Amino acid sequence: MANIKLEGLRHSYADNPKNDEDWALKQIDLEWEDGGAYALLGPSGCGKTTLLNIISGLLQPSHGSIKFDDLEVNQISTDKRDIAQIFQFPVVYDTMSVYDNLAFPLRNLGLSEEKVNERVTEIAQLVELTSILTSRASGLTAGDKQKISLGRGLVRTKVNAILFDEPLTVIDPHLKWQLRSKLKKLHKLLNRTMIYVTHDQIEALTFADKVVVMNFGEVLQIGTPVELFEKPKHTFVGHFIGSPGMNILPCKLDGDNTKIGQYIIETASQVTQNHKGKNLEIGVRPEFIKFSDDGLPVSIVKVSNVGHAQIVETSFEGHKIKLIIDEDVVLPSNNVHLSFNKEKTYLYVDSWLV
Ligand code: ATP
C-alpha cells in the first residue's frame, strides 16, 4: 500500500505536440492518499484512461513523475508496481474454471497450492462466486465475468492500488447497482486505495469519498460529493454535477455590484475591480433559487414534475434559468421574479470561482 503522487504530469500521444489540444493531459499534480476511495469523473475524452494507464505503467508520460511513497516509479514496469487494474470489458481466461482464473495471479507469484486455495476461497466469498467456482468461465454472464475480473484484482494481498476503468459499462442496470454497492463495501473491508473511473456522476458520487473532476486534460476540482455540490470551483463542475446542473449566467460589474442585465445580484464571492474586463459569470444551483415578489423578472418556459419536486425552466433575456421547488408550490401566473440565495450564489471569473 502506498501514497501515490503525480507531479507535473503531462502527456501527448502526438510526436510533436504544438497546440493545447495536442495534450491528452495538460498538467496534473495530484496525490492519492493511501486507502482512499476515489472517483475520477469527467466526460469522454477528458483524459481519465490516460491518467489511469500512467499510474499502472501501461503508458509512459511525456513529462512528470509518478511516485509511490516518494519513490519514483516511472522506470518500474507495470507488473512490479503492484497495481490491480479492472477494465471496462472483463478480462478472463474462457477455457479456465472460475477457480483457476482467480488462482492465476497467485500461482504466477509461486504461492503453494494450499495458500492459493485459502486466498481463492476467501475472495470468492467476498465477490460472491463460491457457488460457481468449478464452472468454466466461457458460459458465464458478463456480470459474473466482471466479478471474476474484480476477484482477480483483489486476490493478491500486496497491492498498492486498485484501478477500475468504467467497470460496470457492460453490466445490466440491476446488477450494476448491486456491484456498485459491493465495491463500496469491499473498500470499507479491505481499506485499499481504489480509483474508480467513470463519466457517470451517480456512480462517482455513490462510490467515492473524494471525487476528482477532470475536463480538457486537467483536474478542475477534488472534493467530497457535498463540496462539489455546494461550492463548485469551476463552472464545468457546477454544470456537470447536479441534475439539473448549476445555472451559469453572464454578468457584469457595476462599481462593487454584480449585475445580470440591469439587476443587482448579491453573491457570496468577494468582488474586486481586478475582475473588470474578464469573462464574468454568476453560478447558482436550481436548488437555491425561489420565486419572490421582486428580484430578477423572468418568464416561465416549462415545468417538469419529477415526483417529489418540480423543475421550472424560466427565461431572462434569452438565458435559461432553472429552479427546483417543492411539488406543492403554486407557480406565480404573472409578474414572475426570482431571488437567489446569496450564500450559495458565486461569481466565476474566466470560469474559475472567485
Ligand atoms: P473515455 O471515457 O471515452 O475513455 P477518457 O476520459 O478516458 O475518455 P482518454 O481515453 O484518456 O479519455 O483520451 C484522452 C485524449 O487522448 C482523447 O482526445 C483521445 O482521443 C486521445 N487518445 C487516447 N488514446 C489515444 C491513443 N492511443 N492515440 C492517440 N490519441 C489517443
Which tens digits make up the pLDDT trace of 172-219? 787 788 888 888 888 888 888 999 999 999 889 888 999 999 999 999
Pairing of β 37-41 and β 63-68: unpaired
Q: H or E stretch including 55?
A: helix 48-56
Give the residue, out of 46, 87, 219, with the most ligand 1 atoms within 8 A of its beta carbon, to mutate for a pocket test.
46
CA-nearest residue for atom 11, ligand 1, is 47
- Asked whether 213 lines ligand 1 (CB < 6 A), one says no
Residue from 15, 16, 41, 48 whose mutation best tests the ligand 1 pocket (most atoms within 8 A of CB): 48
pLDDT at residue 182, as a whole number: 83
CB 124 within 8 A of CB 144: no
Q: Which atom of ligand 1 is nearest to the CA of 21?
A: 18
Measured from the Cα of 47, ligand 1's closest atom is 11
**Strand (E) or helix (H) holding 144:** helix 142-155
The confidence score (pLDDT) of residue 181 equals 83
14 Cα–ligand 1 center, Å: 12
Cell numbers 470560469 label which residue? Answer: 351
**Centre of ligand 1 from the C-alpha of residue 45, in Å:** 5
What digits encode the pLDDT tens for the residues 55-75? 999 999 999 999 999 899 999
Convert the pLDDT of each residue in 289-347 to its tens digit.
999 999 999 999 999 998 889 999 999 999 999 999 999 888 998 899 999 999 999 99
The CA 27 to ligand 1 mean position distance, Å, reads 16
Give residue 48's pLDDT.
95
Phi, psi angles (nearest 5°) of residue 137: -65, -25
Asked if pLDDT for residue 7 goes beyond 80, the answer is: yes
State in Å: Cα 13 to ligand 1 middle: 9
With a 6 A CB cut-off, is 48 part of the ligand 1 pocket?
A: yes
Q: How high does pLDDT run on average in the chain?
A: 92
Q: Tell me how far the alpha carbon of residue 64 lies from the centroid of ligand 1, in angstroms.
A: 19
Residue minimizing CA distance to atom 20 of ligand 1: 45
* pLDDT tens digits, 272-287: 877 777 899 999 999 9
**418556459: which residue's cell?**
301
Burial code (b: 16+ CB inside 10 Å, e: under 16) for 54-80 equals: bbbbebebbebebbbeeeebeeeeeee
Ligand 1 pocket member 275 (CB < 6 A): no
Q: Are 342 and 268 in contact (CB under 8 A)?
A: yes
Please give the average per-residue pLDDT across 3-10, as a whole number.
Answer: 96
Q: Summarize pLDDT for 19-59 with one digit per residue, the tens.
A: 988 999 999 999 999 999 999 999 999 999 999 999 999 99
C-alpha cell at 290: 425561489
Q: pTM of the full predicted structure?
A: 0.90
Distance 302 CA to ligand 1 centre (A): 37
Which atom of ligand 1 is nearest the CA belonging to 53? 11
Tell how strand 299-305 and strand 309-316 pair up. Answer: antiparallel
Position 263, amino acid? Y
How close is the Cα of 38 to the center of ligand 1, in Å?
20
Whether 47 is in the pocket of ligand 1, judged by its Cβ within 6 Å, is yes
- The amino acid that residue 97 corresponds to is S
| Ligand 1 contact, 245 CB (< 6 A) | no
Spatial CA neighbour of 281 closest among 178, 186, 354, 181? 354
Q: Cβ(21) to ligand 1 under 6 A?
A: no
**Cβ of 14 less than 6 Å from ligand 1:** no
Distance of CA 10 from the midpoint of ligand 1 (Å): 14
Predicted pLDDT at 180: 82
Q: Which ligand 1 atom is at minimum distance from the Cα of 49?
A: 7
